[in-house]
Structure 1
C-alpha cells in the first residue's frame, strides 16, 4: 500500500499544481480559458482524491477480512 500512497500523492500534486497555476493566471490576466483549465484540473484532483480514499479504505477492509480468515 505504500507504493499506492506515494503514487496517489504524486498524481494529486500533479493536478493541484497546474490548477493553482491556471487559477493564478486567471486572476492576473482575466482570461476565461485559464479559469476553465483550472476548473478541469480541480475536478480531476477531486476525482483522484476520492478514488484513492475509496481504494485505500476497501484495501484495508480486504486485508482485515483476509487476516480474520487466517
Structure 2
C-alpha cells in the first residue's frame, strides 16, 4: 500500500500544481483559456482524490474481512 499512497500523492500533486499555475495565469492575464484548463485540472484532482480515498477505504475493508475469515 505504500507504493499506492506515494503514487496517488504524485498524481494529485501533478494535477494540483498545474491547476494553481493556470489559475494564477488567469488572475494576472484574464485569459479564459487558462481558467478553463484550471477548472479541468481541478476536476481531475477531485476525481483522483476520491478514487484514492475509495481504494484505500475498501482495501482496508477487504483486508480486515480476509483476516476475520482466515
TM-score (norm: length of structure 2): 0.99
Give CA deviations for 1:17-70 in whole Å, capped at 9, x if unaligned: 000000000000000000000000000000000000000000000000000011
Distance (whole Å) between structure 2 residues aligned to residue 66 and residue 22 of structure 1: 45
- RMSD, matched Cα: 0.3
State how far apart, in whole Å, the 2-side matches of 1:15 and 1:37 are. 11
Query: Within 5 A, what are the aligned runs for 1:1-70?
Result: 1-70=1-70
Give the TM-score normalised by the residue count of structure 1.
0.99
Runs of 4+ displaced beyond 4 Å: none
In structure 1, runs of 5+ residues without a counterpart are: none
